[in-house]
Amino acid sequence: MLAGMKRPLVMRALGVAGRLVNDRHYRNAMLVRLERPLGLFQPDNHTVPDRYPELFDIALREIGDGPDRRLLSFGCSTGEEVFALRGRFRAACIDGLDINRRNIAIARARLAAAPDDRIVFRAAGSGADLAPSSYDAIFCMAVFRHGSLGDAVFPRCDHRIRFADFDRTLVDLAASLRPGGLMFIEWSNFRFRDTRAFAQFEAAHAAPQAARPDPIYDRSDRLMPGVTYRDVVFRKRLIAPPPAPAAPGQGGSAAKA
């Protein structure tokens, strides 16, 4: 009986070992889980080419293209989002930031195979060192979430991710967005409207109801049962008030993945 119970465990262990050896993306995700760098939200790096065509089309239509346009893919994984944006924005400067340095190494290798001096990839876990008012659009797609929160209903999320980190990250990113620029936040476990930075923005576009499967947590990291949040595109006001001061105890690191 004991041997029979051990066999599935052994097979599972062998399967994990095989993926670690043969699947680079899986290996990268497992290593960043172990390292837990400051600012980590989503440890998984699953992505596909041109994953958000409707949102990318909105960006092109509303801000236009040109050598004076600058875009940021925050949490760019291995670069697919950046290269998809280049397919629409032929002349803009595009920066890709990701907390996982191995993802950035893969993205840079792809860039080296097809050089583009207006694309830059950099390993970073926050937007704290970004220049003020330097971007026309910032994309945070499937960044501010943790995959395990969708597998079961947890009454709190702070054992995985914290609203305080989300809040601080959005303050930093908002500062780097030009007035009139667009912030894209898709697949998030938190609502942008609950952050201090939101006072500088207005909601511009919503996603279909069917596209909101993730559980939503409040400012205190508590589950909001039955709550959905459809707004995904936000425009920075031309004359924006400064972000509200942090609430007591709402510190923490800037965060992303």
Specify the residue for token string 């924005």: 89
Q: What pLDDT score was predicted for residue 240?
A: 61
- Report the alpha-carbon distance of residue 187 to residue 223 in Å, rounded: 16
Q: C-alpha angle 176/169/234, rounded to 5°?
A: 60
Let me know how many helices (H) and strands (E) the chain has, helices first: 6, 7
Q: What is the DSSP letter of 138?
A: E
10-residue mean pLDDT profile of the chain (257 residues): values are 54 48 50 56 71 94 97 96 97 96 95 97 93 98 89 87 96 97 96 97 84 83 93 91 63 40
Q: What pLDDT score was predicted for residue 46?
A: 67
Q: What is the DSSP letter of 222?
A: B
Phi-psi region of 88 (alpha: psi -120 to 50; beta: other; left: phi over 0): alpha
Per DSSP, helices labelled H in the chain are: 2-22, 24-35, 53-63, 80-86, 101-113, 163-175
User: Would you say 182 and 79 are in contact if contact means Cβ atoms under 8 Å apart?
Assistant: no
The C-alpha torsion from 206 through 211 and 215 to 221, rounded to 10°, is: -30
* Amino acid residing at 123: A
Q: What pLDDT score was predicted for residue 36?
A: 58
